[in-house]
């Protein structure tokens, strides 16, 4: 079937909850993807960090193949021989005590919310059903009804209420606002160290450390959602390490599955994790042997190949190269490690049009909030590919917003 036929079939029989670029991918390897015509693309999205190791990393493929020859799924009704090793590796890597594996990032966030609430009732003596969690405006923590209920993005919420109470939103990056919002019912603060879907928004220096001090002073929990920012994406193993602000609970996912499987986890201090007892929480697929085999190998690859340091160095190269473009449509270049957002002036250019122009030139990425182009390639990317992607972005800007015209009329969305 042609690409057009495949797109039409998906539109006919699938839900229309995404608006993908008109590219039909069929296979990939490393930092490259290929469409059904055989055209090669440089992947500058890495599936929102889920493919941080590149596509079909040989060590990860070998790990899942080994496990497929031994044991697939038995549920948590029994012990398995690799769950404990996974939990130990992840606890040691994060500097926390205990791990509860789940599947998707949203499930791990829901797990953290349940843990924080029960901790509030059992340990902080908050009145039953009155616990509050402080969150940041413009957050993105997932798509379940509980989570979208405390989103400030109207499109995530419309038509899905009524929503669960118990969340108080304050401006992101404002530690004083967090402290002012703390009351007798506050159990926890839950934030992303860097807001990804909001446009790769980096908070002011000291924000994470301030949150740590505030939560310690008030005796409440600090929980970071590092589903996208974790495992080297920002040039440190975890984004909280930039300020030494170790949380009480950490939400992880995406890269943990090595691009092969959905794997997530909630990692926490022992006293926080111990709010769960048999029957209080679970998942049929959470902690399954296939996922544990891939997750363990992903953590080992990350360290063996020094991908965190690679992210730091290549991220500096990427940010510097983007900053040198100097196009009038660029409002800001921001981010850490291999996670950069370029904010564009919507009066000069539409971000989606730039993404389409980049795709035509063989580089794949996706806009967010209509004005920001994201650059988040696999951590294995080489210098030549980083610079090639920047060259394509600069050319795409000229395709869509020639500086002599400074108008979005020069590039039309497909």
- Under a CB-based contact definition with an 8 Å cutoff, are residues 141 and 152 in contact? no
Backbone phi and psi for residue 375, each to the nearest 5 degrees, phi listed first: -125, 105
Output the domain CATH number for residue 291: 3.40.640.10
Strand partners, 360: none
- Under a CB-based contact definition with an 8 Å cutoff, are residues 389 and 42 in contact? yes
The last residue of a domain, from among 284, 304, 324: 304
The whole-number pLDDT of residue 403 equals 61
Angle of the 351-360 helix axis to the 383-400 helix axis, nearest 10: 120
Rounded to the nearest integer, the mean pLDDT of the chain is 96
State pLDDT tens for residues 170-213. 999 999 999 999 999 999 999 999 999 999 999 999 999 999 99
Domain span including residue 405: 3-56+306-410
Q: Per residue, what are the HEC states of 354-372?
A: HHHHHHHCCEECCEECCCE
- 353 part of the active site: no
CA distance 19 to 10: 12
The whole-number pLDDT of residue 230 equals 98
Asked if residue 407 has pLDDT above 80, the reply is: no
Catalytic residue among 53, 89, 150, 254: 254
State pLDDT tens for residues 18-50. 999 999 999 999 999 999 999 999 999 999 999
Residues 130 and 239 in one domain: yes
The whole-number pLDDT of residue 408 equals 38
The whole-number pLDDT of residue 412 equals 38
DSSP state of 30: B
Residues 52 and 141 in one domain: no
Residues 43 and 91 in one domain: no
Residues 270 and 394 in one domain: no
- 225 part of the active site: yes
Residues 315 and 274 in one domain: no
- Under a CB-based contact definition with an 8 Å cutoff, are residues 224 and 251 in contact? yes
- 140 part of the active site: yes
The last residue of a domain, from among 246, 275, 304: 304
Residues 10 and 47 in one domain: yes
Asked if residue 405 has pLDDT above 80, the reply is: no
The lowest-confidence range among 221-235, 370-384, 389-403 is 389-403
Residues 312 and 300 in one domain: no
Residues 99-116, mean pLDDT to the nearest whole number: 98
The whole-number pLDDT of residue 401 equals 84
CA distance 348 to 409: 9
State pLDDT tens for residues 136-145. 999 999 999 9
Where are the strands (E) in 181-220, listed by range?
Answer: 186-191
Alpha-carbon Rg for the chain in angstroms: 22
The whole-number pLDDT of residue 410 equals 39
Residues 343 and 333 in one domain: yes
Residues 15 and 100 in one domain: no
CA distance 196 to 96: 24
Residues 338-363, mean pLDDT to the nearest whole number: 97
Residues 222-229, mean pLDDT to the nearest whole number: 98
- Under a CB-based contact definition with an 8 Å cutoff, are residues 60 and 294 in contact? yes
pLDDT band at 406 (very low <50, low <70, confident <90, very high): very low
The whole-number pLDDT of residue 404 equals 47
Q: How far from chain centre, in Å, is Cα 44?
A: 14
Residues 199 and 64 in one domain: yes
- CB-based contacts of 376, cutoff 8 Å, min separation 6: 44, 45, 46, 48, 49, 233, 338, 339, 340, 365
Residues 238-255, mean pLDDT to the nearest whole number: 98
Asked if residue 303 has pLDDT above 60, the reply is: yes
Residues 63 and 203 in one domain: yes
The last residue of a domain, from among 239, 270, 304: 304
The whole-number pLDDT of residue 402 equals 79
Catalytic residue among 53, 140, 240, 393: 140
- CB-based contacts of 154, cutoff 8 Å, min separation 6: none
CA dihedral 299, 301, 306, 312 (to 10 degrees): -60
Domain count, the chain: 2
Asked if residue 413 has pLDDT above 60, the reply is: no
Output the domain CATH number for residue 347: 3.90.1150.10
Residues 249 and 125 in one domain: yes
Catalytic residue among 35, 43, 225, 399: 225
């Amino acid at each position: 079937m042609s690409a057009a036929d495949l797109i039409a079939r998906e539109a006919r029989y699938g839900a229309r909850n995404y608006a993908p670029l008109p590219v039909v991918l069929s296979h990939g390897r490393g930092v490259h993807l290929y469409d059904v015509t055989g055209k090669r693309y440089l992947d500058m999205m890495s599936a929102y960090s889920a493919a941080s190791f590149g596509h079909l990393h040989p060590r990860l493929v070998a790990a899942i193949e080994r496990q497929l020859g031994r044991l697939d799924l038995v549920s948590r009704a029994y012990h398995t021989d690799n769950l404990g090793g996974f939990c130990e590796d992840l606890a040691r890597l994060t500097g926390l005590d205990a791990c509860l594996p789940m599947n998707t990032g949203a499930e791990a966030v829901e797990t953290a919310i349940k843990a924080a609430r029960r901790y509030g009732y059992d340990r902080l003596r908050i009145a039953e059903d009155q616990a509050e969690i402080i969150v940041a405006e413009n957050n993105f923590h997932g798509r379940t009804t509980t989570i979208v209920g405390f989103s400030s993005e109207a499109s995530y919420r419309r038509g899905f209420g009524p929503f669960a109470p118990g969340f108080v939103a304050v401006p992101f990056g404002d530690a004083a606002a967090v402290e002012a919002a703390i009351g007798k019912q506050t159990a926890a603060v839950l934030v992303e160290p860097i807001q990804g879907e909001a446009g790769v928004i980096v908070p002011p220096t000291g924000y994470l450390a301030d949150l740590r001090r505030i939560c310690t002073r008030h005796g409440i929990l600090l929980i970071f959602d590092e589903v996208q920012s974790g495992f080297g994406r920002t040039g440190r193993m975890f984004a909280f390490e930039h300020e030494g602000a170790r949380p009480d609970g950490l939400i992880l996912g995406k890269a943990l599955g090595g691009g092969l499987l959905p794997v997530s986890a909630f990692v926490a201090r022992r006293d926080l994790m111990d709010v769960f007892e048999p029957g209080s929480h679970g998942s049929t697929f959470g902690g399954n042997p296939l996922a544990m085999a891939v997750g363990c190998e992903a953590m080992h690859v990350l360290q063996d190949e020094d991908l965190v340091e690679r992210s730091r160095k290549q991220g500096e190269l990427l940010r510097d190269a983007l900053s040198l473009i100097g196009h009038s449509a660029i409002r800001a270049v921001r981010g850490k490690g291999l996670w950069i957002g370029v904010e564009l002036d919507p009066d000069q250019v539409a971000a989606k049009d730039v993404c389409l122009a980049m795709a035509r030139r063989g580089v794949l990425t996706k806009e967010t909030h209509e004005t920001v182009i994201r650059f988040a390639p696999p951590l294995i990317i080489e210098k030549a590919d980083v610079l090639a992607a920047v060259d394509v972005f600069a050319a795409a800007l000229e395709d869509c917003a020639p500086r002599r015209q400074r108008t979005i009329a020069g590039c039309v969305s497909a």
